[in-house]
Structure 1
Amino acid sequence: MSLESVQSAVARFVEQARAGADEGPVLIATDFDGVLAPLGDDPSASRPTVAAAAALVRLARLPHERLRLALVSGRHLETLAQLALAPSGTILVGSHGAERGEIRQDPSEDSSTRLPDVERAPFDLVPEQEALLRDVTTGLDEIVENVDGAWVERKPSAAVLHTRLSTETDAETVSTRAVALGERLGAHVMSGKNVVEIAVVETSKGEALLALREELGATVVFYMGDDVTDERAFAVLGADDLTVKVGSGETAALVRVADTDEAADLLADLADALEHALA
């Protein structure tokens, strides 16, 4: 959509946030990869852009009774915390909603020189889920054996096939086999950009956002994402909320920005407006 459409949507959202400021906080939530951090071949090298990180710091400094900041990602919670280096008080939602935590570091300390202090919500699998996860992981390991550029990531409640570095033919083949494996085992399959995640706990970014909204008593919600898995979040939010798609492709989001640079600009504009609206 045009820049004017984005500006208009932001202005409407900020007005809704101002109107509900005495009833509950506004929730500003965003995906990490492809939104705050450009996509790359090495997932461990992902970092937010300087502009995106600066905007997050400004948003996090607003009083928590007025605004809460959250990162919602498919990443394992600890990995998300280490890569995002989010400011103190940021809520972290990992593994598409299966994991929750909050950054508790002292803001006076230099977070770039140490691992973030994350207060993690309790998380345990029942024995049946543990057995299923072992079967899923073993099956994916067998699928990627001798396939160049394909590898398996292990999470507390899922295993993930990554194919970003594979040939197009190999990626299609192993992804199809991974989906079939998950369906055969009765697990929960989610396909995204160059990934197939097979989880033993049913969840989604949409369910996670709704739960977080209810817990915080948030009056309005902003959510920005770039992947197929973010569409579940776009779909569950309401007319007074603001959903933003980063990049191309069909979407249920209300507005679109082109890339991570425009996403950072949008977050900065939002920080500008909310600093005045929620003062």
Structure 2
Amino acid sequence: MALEPELLSALASLAATPRLLVALDFDGTLAPLVERAEDARALPASAAALRALAGLPGTTTALISGRALDSLRVVAEPPEDMLLIGSHGAETWTGPDGAALALTADQAELLARAVDVVEHTVATHPGTRIEFKPAGVVLHTRTAADDVADAAVAAARAGLAPLGDISVTDGKRVLEVSVIRADKGQGLALLRETTGATALLFAGDDVTDEHAQRTLRPGDVGIRIGPGRTSAPFTVATPEDFSQVLEELVSLRTSRAPTR
């Protein structure tokens, strides 16, 4: 795929910024979507480009994902110094001195009730699956028939409605439930502040990534992977196409990056 001239120009400007942050979603962006979340792996070209960027002066890389941090570490195999945002912003890893996520007693009780709802939904809707997170629970419907998936989401929403102060978000064949109200926009803002970035690249493929796309500033570059309404100024069709974006940024940043 040939990159659009406007995107090439934006990448060239981004590559010259003094402090660059490259913060990326994982599933559907670095890794193609798969039926079993545990089987996802980054495309080799994207993984290599991200490693190359991390080794350049004035450049920080990060992953910002809906996955729990433990799951993200397994599938992404990030280097120890890569910054991580998990559970849509509820979990953060900005270094060994960072505080671990801890729920209050009320939050823990609320999470247990939400888990009961989703477990019952999965038990009564064949092909659906449950994923547990430190601050939430996820209903997966990718391996269910379409009518079963729709019924499962409706049933889960009905069961969760009386619980009150929880966050319920639709994604691509998932229903995300969290007892901590956080989103990728908040996570990206934390990464920007932590790194002192003067500009950043953010890319994602899902509706939950739009929280981050809407926080971008002049000089930043936002990219949507695949179809769908988006606030991102640029779109590429597939994770394979996004590999080319990262390779182009490596080339541009190598020639333009500031010295350490």
TM-score tier after normalising by the smaller chain length: over 0.9
In structure 1, the residue matched to 2:41 is 47
Letter in 1 for 2:178: A
Structure 2: distance between partners of 1:10 and 1:170 = 43
- Residue in structure 2 matched with residue 148 of structure 1 by the alignment: 126
CA deviation map 1:200-219 (0-9, x unaligned): 00000001101221122211
Q: TM-score, normalised by structure 2?
A: 0.93
d(CA) in 2 for partners of 1:90 and 1:213?
A: 14
Q: Which residue of 2 is the match for residue 112 of structure 1?
A: none
Match of 1:62 in 2: 56
Corresponding letter in the other structure for 1:182? L
Cα offsets for 1:106-146 (capped at 9, x unmatched): xxxxxxxxxxxx88641100000000000000011111213
The answer to whether 1:81 aligns with 2:73 is yes
Listed one character per residue, the Cα deviations across residues 42-95 of structure 1 (whole Å, up to 9, x for unaligned) are 1111000110110011011123xx111000000110110111012342111110
Aligned to 1:123, what secondary structure does the other structure show? coil
Note if contact 1:35-1:224 (Cα within 8 Å) is conserved in structure 2. yes
For residues 241-256 of structure 1, the aligned pairs below 5 Å read 241-256=220-235
Query: Identity over aligned residues, as a percent?
Result: 36
Q: C-alpha separation between the residues in 2 aligned to 1:182 and 1:55? A: 41
1: CA distance between counterparts of 2:12 and 2:56?
18
Any gaps of 5 or more consecutive residues in structure 1? 104-117
Give 1:194-209 correspondences, 5 Å limit: 194-209=173-188
TM-score if structure 1 supplies the norm length? 0.87
Deviation at 1:2, TM superposition (A): 6.2
Unaligned 5+ runs, structure 2: none
Corresponding residue for 2:92? 100
Query: Is the CA contact 1:56–1:87 (under 8 Å) kept in the aligned structure 2?
Result: no
Among 117, 121, 124, the residue aligned to 1:139: 117
Check conservation: 1:245, 1:256, Cα contact below 8 A: yes
Whether the aligned pair in 1 keeps the contact of 2:136 and 2:178 (CA below 8 Å) is yes
* Partner SS, residue 194 of structure 2: helix
Name the CA distance, whole Å, in 2 between partners of 1:183 and 1:236: 29
User: Which residue number in structure 1 is paired with residue 160 of structure 2?
Assistant: 182
- The residue type equivalent to 2:47 in the other structure is A
Q: What SS does the corresponding residue of 1:236 show, helix, strand or coil?
A: coil
- Given that 1:26 and 1:68 are in contact with CA atoms closer than 8 Å, whether structure 2 keeps it comes out as yes
- Matched residue SS, 2:247: helix
* Equivalent pair of 1:14/1:274 in contact (CA under 8 Å): yes
The answer for the alignment partner of 2:30 in structure 1 is: 36
The residue that corresponds to 1:71 in the other structure is: 63
CA contact (8 A) 2:14 2:20 kept: no
Task: Count the aligned residue pairs.
Answer: 256
Q: Give the partner amino acid of 2:249.
A: L
Deviates more, 1:49-58 or 1:82-91: 82-91
User: What is the Cα deviation at residue 32 of structure 1?
Assistant: 0.3
